[in-house]
């Protein structure tokens, strides 16, 4: 149980275009999902918290108009990178938060590698 998928796993897009990444919880519902960005050989940086039915909460320094997050259902959150530029190339990872009864845990998707040319 507690599987999170991401689609696509790998995408190349041209500079100036937009790309959408999907994050799905396959066998459970998640009112809260998180989006992370990871540069090569670096740690995960939290970009935003995605809440079902409400606006996402962005971390300081993350452009909300560039990284659009939509959490329209309890099993799907999407991240759209708008007007992508080469510096947006990165590994994007989502996670779904669950309450285990005595703590929060996150289940992570396999990640999406974005290359902007």
Binding site for other proteins (CB under 8 A): 4, 6, 32, 34, 41-44, 46, 49, 91, 93, 95, 97, 102-111, 113
Q: To the nearest whole angstrom, how small is the minimum distance from the Cβ of residue 23 to other proteins? A: 11
Q: To the nearest whole angstrom, how small is the minimum distance from the Cβ of residue 83 to other proteins? A: 26
Beta-bridge partners for 51? 32
Is 106 in contact with 25 (CB distance < 8 Å)?
Answer: no
Q: To the nearest whole angstrom, how small is the minimum distance from the Cβ of residue 46 to other proteins? A: 6
Task: Write the DSSP string, 18-86.
Answer: -EEEEEEESSS--SEEEEEEE-TTS-EEEEEEEETTS--EEPTT--TTTEEEEEEETTEEEEEE-S--G
Q: Closer to other proteins by CB, 109 or 116: give it.
A: 109
Q: Closer to other proteins by CB, 12 or 46: give it.
A: 46
Q: Closer to other proteins by CB, 34 or 67: give it.
A: 34
Q: Closer to other proteins by CB, 5 or 18: give it.
A: 5
- 26 phi and psi angles, rounded to 5 deg: -85, -35
Q: To the nearest whole angstrom, how small is the minimum distance from the Cβ of residue 81 to other proteins? A: 18
Nearest of 21, 35, 41 to residue 63 by alpha carbon: 35
């Amino acid at each position: 149980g507690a599987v999170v998928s991401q689609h696509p796993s790998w995408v190349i897009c041209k500079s100036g275009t937009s790309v959408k990444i999907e994050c799905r919880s396959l066998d459970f519902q998640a009112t809260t999902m998180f989006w992370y960005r990871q540069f090569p050989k670096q740690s995960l940086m939290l970009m935003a918290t995605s809440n079902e039915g409400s606006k996402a909460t962005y971390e300081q320094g993350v452009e909300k108009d560039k990284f659009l997050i939509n959490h329209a259902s309890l099993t799907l959150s999407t991240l759209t990178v708008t007007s992508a530029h080469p510096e947006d190339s990165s590994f994007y990872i989502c996670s779904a938060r669950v309450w285990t009864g005595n703590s929060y845990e996150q289940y992570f998707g396999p990640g999406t590698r974005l290359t902007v040319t």
